[in-house]
Structure 1
Amino acid sequence: MARLLLVHHTPSPALQAMFEAVVAGASTPEIEGVELVRRAALSTTAVDVLEADGYLLGTPANLGYMSGALKHFFDTIYYPCLDSTRGRPFGLYVHGNNDTTGAVRSVETATTGLGWEKAAQHVVVTGEPSKADLEACWELGATVAAQLST
């Protein structure tokens, strides 16, 4: 069975709603053969990453950057996973109160360095997530999971 690792930092109600929509999409019954593993960014280990076949990443935009928790995740796993995870698919969702550009760019820099492949369009939301935003989060989860489905 393929393993999809969802690494997230979810400090707000808006991010919680996005997280739940991603989880619902990634675990939809129509997609078979994929185990969804959820980990808070501060507790995710290199072993978690090495055991996964694909990744979903969720972060707030904090001061023009990804959250410190997601940055810590990348700092922790980068070198132990650098050669072993190249080519694996990932998806990203980001929430910010205004500008999310720096957060997206910082995650793209880390994933490019790891050699991960963007599996779907990023979901980027400013302000309160709309119904369409949450549907996009569902699609993100389902799309990445479907790429791992057997």
Structure 2
Amino acid sequence: MPRLLIVHHTPSPACQALFEAVLDGAGDPELSEVEVVRRAALSATASDVLAADGIILGTPANIGYISGALKHFFDTVYYPVLDQAAGLPFGAYVHGNQGAEGAVRAIATITKGLGWEAVAETVVVHGEVDKGARERCWELGAAVGANLLS
């Protein structure tokens, strides 16, 4: 059974809403063969990454960058997974009240260094989480999950 790991930092109601939408998409009944594992960014480990067949990253944009928690995750797992997780399919979502470009760029740069492969466009949500934002995150969860079945 393919395993989808969701590594997230959800310090706000907006981030929680996006996280729940990603979970709902990844948990769609058509993806029942995909095991969904969720880990807070501060507790996710290299072992979690190495056991995963795909990953979704979720973070707020704090002062134009990824959260310290997601940065800690990358700092912790980078070298232990560098050679073994190349090609890992991933997707990401970012919530910001102001600019999120730096956070999106950081995710792209770090995952490129890891050799991970983006299989969905990063979902960026500014301000209030509306129905459209929830739908895009649902689609992100479903798309990365479906990628593991192909």
Class of the TM-score when normalised by the shorter of the 2 chains: over 0.9
| 1:57-86 Cα distance to aligned partner (Å, 9 max, x none) | 000000111000000000000000001111
Instruction: Show the counterpart of 1:130.
Output: 130
**Aligned amino acid, residue 9 of structure 1:** H
Tell me how many residue pairs correspond in the alignment: 150
Instruction: Show the counterpart of 2:40.
Output: 40
Instruction: Show the counterpart of 1:111.
Output: 111
Deviation beyond 3 Å, 4+ runs, structure 1: none
Shift of 1:149: 1.9
Give, in whole Å, the separation in 1 of the partners of 2:72 and 2:26: 24
**Aligned amino acid, residue 13 of structure 1:** P
Is the CA contact 1:22–1:141 (under 8 Å) kept in the aligned structure 2?
yes
Does 1:82 pair with 2:82? yes
Query: TM-score, normalization: structure 2?
Result: 0.98
SS at 2:99's partner residue? coil
Give, in whole Å, the separation in 2 of the partners of 1:88 and 1:32: 20
Instruction: Show the counterpart of 2:17.
Output: 17
Is the CA contact 1:32–1:149 (under 8 Å) kept in the aligned structure 2?
no
Query: TM-score, normalization: structure 1?
Result: 0.98
Give, in whole Å, the separation in 2 of the partners of 1:32 and 1:113: 31
Is the CA contact 2:91–2:122 (under 8 Å) kept in the aligned structure 1?
yes
| 1:28-53 Cα distance to aligned partner (Å, 9 max, x none) | 11113210000000000100000001
Instruction: Show the counterpart of 2:63.
Output: 63
Instruction: Show the counterpart of 1:49.
Output: 49
Give, in whole Å, the separation in 1 of the partners of 2:26 and 2:91: 11
Q: Structure 2: where are the runs of 5+ without partners?
A: none
SS at 2:30's partner residue? coil
Q: Structure 1: where are the runs of 5+ without partners?
A: none
Give, in whole Å, the separation in 1 of the partners of 2:135 and 2:118: 19
Instruction: Give the share of equivalent positions with the same residue, in percent.
Output: 66
SS at 1:42's partner residue? coil
Instruction: Show the counterpart of 1:97.
Output: 97
